[in-house]
Structure 1
Amino acid sequence: MKEYGVVSEAWAPFNDGKRNFFADPILSEIGRKYEKSATQVALRWNIQRGVVVIPKSVHEDRMKQNIDIFDFTLSQDVLGNII
């Protein structure tokens, strides 16, 4: 995709909240390490991989949380462990 200048885009980076995404034990554990939520970890993971994320929310507190992901960087170990 890089060769053609194409950027991946995540239209539903939270899986529409299905499968207990917001309480995922792996993302929650990583979040505790960085003092962030599972949601913020997922957004940061995508951003660090060069994926454009479009999280949807109508709640002001969630919108603020969604943008508060640029004050930390996931380690290479963590990036490799999130699938």
Structure 2
Amino acid sequence: VSGGPADRAGLRGGSRITYVAGQRIIVGGDIIVAINGKKITGLDDLSSYLEEYTKPGQRVMITVVRENQLITLEVELGARPPLGQR
């Protein structure tokens, strides 16, 4: 989201469009692999960690794969969007 916490921290979203089984998918961008040193293997891991161990306004260290390199970025968490906006 433009201007959101991830954008302000420098996280990069996908930029290329591809189609898989007729579904439009955006690919590329940063791949989150850890938060505060805890390994993340998917969206469920990330959501669970954020819900259990963090709160809005807290700063966390996010490790991402970007162009085949590991990069760690500091992110200040915003409020979690309502269910209909996730």
The structure with the largest helix share of the pair is: 1
Using structure 1 for the length normalisation, give the TM-score: 0.26
State the structure with more CA Rg: 2
TM-score (norm 2): 0.26
